[in-house]
Amino acid sequence: MNARPWRSVLYVPGDKPRALEKARTLGADAVILDLEDAVAPEHKEAARENVRSALGARWPGPVLVRVNGLGSEWEHADRETALRAGVDGLVLPKVEDPRTVRDLHLRVPLWAMIETPLGVLRAPEIAAVPGVAGLLVGANDLARALRTRPHPERAPLLAALSAVVLAARAHGKLPLDAVYNDVRDPAGFTRECEQGRSLGFAGKTVIHPDQIGPANLAFGVTGPQAEDARALLDAWQQARAQGKSVVAHQGALIEQMHADEAQELLGLWEATQGGVG
């Protein structure tokens, strides 16, 4: 069972050709070529051309494009550029209404950004749309809309973060955690990655190459963890061969749920050892 990892998803501004070129070599599990917030209005057209060129190159993992929002003057040109160039998915900003996503019919995976209070409240309906592959948290806009104050543990946002994870997991979609703004604070970034993993996020969106390695580690599987998973599966398979439904392993009782979790961990381990990330 090989599940593609989404431990680190790197945003790259579409108006930075050198950054787009370098992004292919940085080891992120996926990349988002950004045409929205990271690109000033006067640079939108040039950014589209850069993205078109970048999508023609070979990438080691999925390449998504964050387009400008519905109703903006750039939305149609952004989508046409990405679709014609062969994108692996589109990131839609500030999604609040599941009907707008359902009506797109673009035949590529859609990733909905949850960045507003209404988006959080409607996250279950958005995640339920068949074309949606995952939900991404936009914490900066969300914090502003909620009028929260900065907090090192994201306490004011925890309810919203958990709501996004719950909505995504309930519908079999991937939840991706928000970016960490201070690229000069690796310790804070690592703490937030660990928090995101504990909350149930599949990975983290990142904005700097130095954040990729820590995100891959936090949302990945270590060698010892893989060995523990193999040992648990061996004990479980032996127990099942003996007709048992529960077995003691390393001082704990395990059942089918634990075996499924171990298999999932091994799938992620195998995927990351195969050169994906």
Looking at residue 177, which CATH number applies to its domain?
A: 3.20.20.60
- Is 195 contained in some domain? yes
Number of domains, the chain: 2
Residues 236 and 165 in one domain: no
Residues 14 and 67 in one domain: yes
**Tens of pLDDT, residues 220-269:** 998 999 999 999 999 999 999 999 889 999 989 999 999 999 999 999 98
Q: Which residues pair with 32 in a beta bridge?
A: 11, 64
Residues 161 and 257 in one domain: no
Residues 186 and 227 in one domain: no
Mean pLDDT of 136-161: 96
- For the annotated binding site for Mg(2+), the residues are 115, 141
Residues 239 and 111 in one domain: no
Residues 143 and 234 in one domain: no
147 CB-contact burial (10 Å; exposed 0-12 / middle 13-18 / buried 19+): exposed
Mean pLDDT of 57-82: 95
Contacts of 5 (CB under 8 A, 6+ apart): 29, 203, 216, 219, 220, 268, 271, 272, 276, 277
pLDDT value of position 130 = 94
192 within 8 A of 149, measured Cβ to Cβ: no
**Tens of pLDDT, residues 37-58:** 899 999 999 999 999 999 999 9
- For the annotated binding site, the residues are 66, 115, 141
- For the annotated binding site for substrate, the residues are 66, 115
Task: Print the domain residue range for 257.
Answer: 223-273
Residues 163 and 192 in one domain: yes
223 CB-contact burial (10 Å; exposed 0-12 / middle 13-18 / buried 19+): exposed
Residues 76 and 210 in one domain: yes
**Tens of pLDDT, residues 1-43:** 347 899 999 999 999 999 999 999 999 999 999 999 899 999 9
